[in-house]
Amino acid sequence: MAVKIRLARRGRKKLSLYDVVVADSRSPRDGKFIEKIGTYNPLTVPASIILDDNKAFDWLMKGAQPSDTVRAMLSYRGVMLRRHLQLGVAKGAITQEQADSKLTEWVKSKQDKIQSKVEGLAKAKQTAAKARKEAESKVKEARAEAIRKKAEVVVAPAETPAEETPAEPQA
C-alpha cells in the first residue's frame, strides 16, 4: 500500500481550509485517511500551518510520500531537513549531536525570519492606515474650505447695501 501525506479540503466555497492527512494513495481526496497530522489555512497572511512535526517526521521515515504542496510545507517547518539529517546520522556521515545542533540553529533562524515578516506586515498595515487617515483628513479639510468659501460668497452680497437712488427734490 502506497501512503501519501496530502491535503484534504474542507470549508465552504471560497473559504477553503485543509487538513494535512496521511492516506492511502488510492483513496479519494476528501475520503478515508489513516491519520490527521495538521491543518493548513492559505487565506491568512502569512499562511497558517499547524502541524504535528513529530508525526509527520515518523511517517516520512516510514516511507510516506508527501504531495508537492505538503513537501513545501514540511520544508518550511524544517521536517524535511530533520529527515535529511537523520538519514545522514543513519549512514554515519554525522553524529546525532551535530544533526540536532544544525536543526536547532536552522529552526531559530527560520523563526526569526518569520517573526520579522509578521512585524513587517503589521508595520505596513499601520502605515497604510495612517496614510489613508491623512488622505481622508485632507479631503475633509478641502470640503470644509469649499463650504466656507461658498458661505462667504452668499454672505458678502447680503452685507453690501443696495445702490441708493438719489432722492428727488421736492418742489
State the pLDDT at residue 72: 95
- Identify the DSSP state of 39: E
Over residues 59-84, mean pLDDT: 94
State the pLDDT at residue 162: 54
Q: What is the pLDDT of residues 78-121, one digit of tens each?
A: 999 999 999 999 999 999 999 999 999 999 999 999 899 989 99
Q: Name the percent of the chain lying above pLDDT 90.
A: 75
- Is 74 a residue whose pLDDT tops 80? yes
Question: Coil, strand, or helix at residue 49?
Answer: strand
Instruction: Please give the Cα distance from 101 to 104 (Å, whole number).
Output: 5
- How confident is residue 54, by pLDDT bands cut at 50, 70 and 90? very high
Superfamily of domain 3-66: Ribosomal protein S16 (3.30.1320.10)
Q: Where are the domains of the chain?
A: 3-66
DSSP string over 78-141: THHHHHHHHHHHHHTSS-HHHHHHHHHHHHHHHHHHHHHHHHHHHHHHHHHHHHHHHHHHHHHH
Q: Which three cell numbers stand for residue 106?
A: 536552522
State the pLDDT at residue 23: 95
State the pLDDT at residue 167: 64
Residue among 4, 63, 2, 28 nearest 20 (CA):
4
- Is 123 a residue whose pLDDT tops 60? yes
Q: Spell out the long-range contacts of 106-113 with Cβ–Cβ below 8 A and sequence spacing 24 or more.
A: 106/78, 106/81, 107/78, 110/76, 110/78
Judge if pTM exceeds 0.75.
Answer: no
| Identity of residue 153 | V
State the pLDDT at residue 19: 95
Instruction: Please give the Cα distance from 41 to 29 (Å, whole number).
Output: 17
